[in-house]
Amino acid sequence: MKLSQQKFKNSSYPRTSSWGNDSNCCLWDGVMCDSMSSHFGNLPSLTYLNLSHCCFAGEIPPRIAGLSKLATFDLSTNWFYSFERGNYLKLEPSTWEKLILNMTNMRELILDYVNMFSISKSSLSLLMNLSSSLVSLSLRDTSLQGNITNNILCLQNLQQLDLSRNQNLNGQLPKSECNSSLRHLDLCFTNFSGEVPNSLGYLKHLNHLNLGFC
């Protein structure tokens, strides 16, 4: 791939010689960057937004919460690209609250490696507002902390839940039977404690369970 790119740069398009992975793309010859292009809030009919594995860092803009029709929202795995700069993609409580309250059609919410350190227990409990729509929730390694209600494991249509690698996140598995369609549950490297209850046996569709290093 690198050889073909180098050949392309040196042949018919010499202006691409200024293009490189180690420089600001806005300074490349022939490339223009619009300072207004981050206004996703101007796309009110958008239902699918996947910005995973990009080089984003900094605060997630509040206007993202205006996308009330989103069914899939994926901002995962931007952490690897911003690690050296120490500037992680971050979600503030006010944006989180607006996002959950406005996106009532959300089916997939994937925020792995987004910094959610400042999200409180009360703000996290707002996820219960998505009980009728949420199918997949993945908050892996987001620095969540505090106690989380076990009701989150009983969301009506939830099939996949990943809260793994949040070492300061406390909780317990529900002792009462859940009418859940849960298929995938990963709580490894969290601070969940207590007994593994019999109610876990009522999760008839469960095919992946990871409770390692709790």
Q: State the fold for domain 41-210.
A: 3.80.10
Q: What residue segments make up the domains of the chain, in order of their start?
A: 1-33, 41-210
Gyration radius of the chain's alpha carbons: 20
In this prediction the pTM is: 0.80
pLDDT at 140: 95
Report which secondary-structure segment, H or E, holds 122: helix 121-124
pLDDT digits (tens, 9 = 90+) for 148-187: 888 888 888 999 999 999 999 999 998 887 877 999 999 9
Q: Name the β-bridge partners of 73.
A: 49, 109
> Mean pLDDT over all residues of the chain?
84
Which tokens hold the place of 26? 């806005």
C-alpha dist (Å) from residue 170 to 5, 76, 149? 49, 22, 9
The Cβ of residue 176 has, within 10 Å, a number of other Cβ atoms equal to 10
Q: In what order do the strands lie in the sheet with 72-74?
A: 48-50, 72-74, 108-110, 136-138, 160-162, 184-186, 208-210
- Residue 205 CB-density burial (10 A; 0-12 exposed, 13-18 middle, 19+ buried): exposed
pLDDT digits (tens, 9 = 90+) for 33-52: 766 575 666 788 999 999 99
Among 20-34, 36-50, 113-127, 197-211, the least confident range: 20-34
pLDDT at 27 over 60: yes
Cβ–Cβ under 8 Å, residues 77 and 53: yes
